Chain A
Amino acid sequence: MKDKGAAGLLEHYDPQGYFCEMLGLPGQPTGFTRPVWERIGRLGLDELHARARDAELELYNFGITFTVYTQKDSIDRILPFDVIPRLISPEDWQTIETGVTQRVTAINLFLHDVYHDRKILKDGVVPRELVLGNKNYRPEMCGLDVPFGTYVHINGTDLVRDHAGQFLVLEDNGRSPSGVSYVVENRHLMQRAFPDLMADIGIKPVSNYGQKLHEALAEIAPPGVDDPQVVLLSPGTYNSAYFEHIFLAREMGVPLVEGRDLVVEDDRVYMRTIAGLEPVHVIYRRINDDFLDPEAFDPTSLLGAAGLFGAYRKGHVALANAIGTGVADDKAVYAYMPRIIAYYLDEEPILPNVETNICREPEGLKHTLAHLDKLVVKPVGESGGYGITIGPRASRKELETCRKQLEADPANYISQPMVELSVAPTLVETGIEPRHVDLRPFVVTGRSTWVLPGGLSRVALTKGSIVVNSSQGGGSKDTWVLE
Chain B
Amino acid sequence: MSNLLARYADAAFWMARYVERAENLARVLDVNETFSRDTRGGRNWLSVLQLYDDGERFHDRHDEATAAAVRHFYVLDPENPDSILSAIRTARENARTLRPLISTEMWIQLNIFYNRLRALAPEDLSEPRIARLCSFIKESCQAHTGITEGTFYRDAGWSFYQMGRALERADQTTRLLDVKYHLLLPGPAAVGSPVDLSQWNALLRSASGYHAYRRVRPSGMTPASVAGFLLFHDDFPRSVNACIKALGATLSDLRTRYGLTGGVQAMAEVEALRGSLEGASIEAVIAGGLHEYIDGIQVRLMAITDGLGQEFFGRASAGSEAPQAATEG
CB-contact partner of B100 in A60, A236, A249, under 8 A? A249
Assess whether B208 is interfacial by the CB under 8 Å rule.
no
Report B56 CB to chain A, min CB distance, Å. Answer: 27
Whether the pair A274, B262 counts as a contact (CB closer than 8 A) is yes
Name the residue of chain B whose CB is nearest to the CB of A249. B100
How many A-B pairs have beta carbons closer than 8 Å: the answer is 70
CB-contact partner of A278 in B3, B7, B99, B314, under 8 A? B3
- Count contacts on A: residues with CB < 8 A to the other chain: 24
Report A191 CB to chain B, min CB distance, Å. Answer: 15
Whether the pair A62, B104 counts as a contact (CB closer than 8 A) is yes
Q: Which residues between 246 and 273 of chain A lie within 8 Å of chain B, taking CB atoms?
A: 246, 249-250, 255-258, 260-261, 271-273
Residues of chain B lying within 8 A (CB to CB) of residue A408:
none
Contact with A along B160-203 (1 / 0, CB 8 A): 00000000000000000000000000000000000000000000
Whether the pair A275, B258 counts as a contact (CB closer than 8 A) is yes
Assess whether A229 is interfacial by the CB under 8 Å rule.
yes
Residues of chain A lying within 8 A (CB to CB) of residue B224:
none
Whether the pair A61, B258 counts as a contact (CB closer than 8 A) is no
Assess whether B259 is interfacial by the CB under 8 Å rule.
yes
Residues of chain A lying within 8 A (CB to CB) of residue B100:
246, 249-250, 255-256
Assess whether B112 is interfacial by the CB under 8 Å rule.
yes
Report B289 CB to chain A, min CB distance, Å. Answer: 38
Name the residue of chain A whose CB is nearest to the CB of B104. A62
Of the listed residues B9, B111, B312, the one surrounded by the most CB atoms of chain A closer than 10 A to its CB is: B111
CB-contact partner of B108 in A62, A272, A273, under 8 A? A62
Assess whether B150 is interfacial by the CB under 8 Å rule.
no
Please report the C-alpha to C-alpha distance between residue A60 and residue B114 in the assembled complex, in whole angstroms: 12
Whether the pair B96, A275 counts as a contact (CB closer than 8 A) is no
Whether the pair B6, A278 counts as a contact (CB closer than 8 A) is no
Assess whether B58 is interfacial by the CB under 8 Å rule.
no
Assess whether A237 is interfacial by the CB under 8 Å rule.
yes
Whether the pair A261, B7 counts as a contact (CB closer than 8 A) is yes
Assess whether B156 is interfacial by the CB under 8 Å rule.
yes
Residues of chain A lying within 8 A (CB to CB) of residue B97:
237
Please report the C-alpha to C-alpha distance between residue A257 and residue B100 in the assembled complex, in whole angstroms: 10
Please report the C-alpha to C-alpha distance between residue A34 and residue B260 in the assembled complex, in whole angstroms: 62
Please report the C-alpha to C-alpha distance between residue A27 and residue B260 in the assembled complex, in whole angstroms: 72
Whether the pair B112, A272 counts as a contact (CB closer than 8 A) is no
Whether the pair A273, B5 counts as a contact (CB closer than 8 A) is yes
Contact with A along B95-128 (1 / 0, CB 8 A): 0110110001001100110010000000000000
Residues of chain B lying within 8 A (CB to CB) of residue A60:
115
Whether the pair A274, B9 counts as a contact (CB closer than 8 A) is yes
Assess whether A194 is interfacial by the CB under 8 Å rule.
no
Please report the C-alpha to C-alpha distance between residue A249 and residue B104 in the assembled complex, in whole angstroms: 13
Whether the pair A237, B96 counts as a contact (CB closer than 8 A) is yes
Report A274 CB to chain B, min CB distance, Å. Answer: 5
Whether the pair B107, A63 counts as a contact (CB closer than 8 A) is yes
Residues of chain A lying within 8 A (CB to CB) of residue B7:
258, 260-261, 272
CB-contact partner of A274 in B99, B108, B112, B312, under 8 A? B312
Contact with B along A219-242 (1 / 0, CB 8 A): 000000000010000001100001
Of the listed residues B7, B108, B156, B262, the one surrounded by the most CB atoms of chain A closer than 10 A to its CB is: B7
Please report the C-alpha to C-alpha distance between residue A261 and residue B7 in the assembled complex, in whole angstroms: 7
Whether the pair A278, B2 counts as a contact (CB closer than 8 A) is yes
Whether the pair B258, A274 counts as a contact (CB closer than 8 A) is yes
Name the residue of chain B whose CB is nearest to the CB of A234. B100
Residues of chain B lying within 8 A (CB to CB) of residue A278:
2-3
Report B217 CB to chain A, min CB distance, Å. Answer: 42
Please report the C-alpha to C-alpha distance between residue A276 and residue B9 in the assembled complex, in whole angstroms: 13
Sample of 16 more A-B contacts, CB < 8 Å, known A60-B115, A63-B107: A61-B111, A63-B108, A236-B324, A246-B99, A258-B7, A271-B2, A272-B5, A272-B7, A273-B2, A273-B5, A274-B156, A275-B3, A275-B261, A276-B262, A278-B2, A278-B3
A-B contact pairs, 7 of them (CB 8 A): A63-B111, A237-B326, A258-B7, A271-B2, A273-B6, A276-B262, A278-B3
- Listed from nearest, the 5 A-B pairs whose CB atoms lie closest are A273-B3, A249-B100, A256-B100, A275-B3, A246-B99
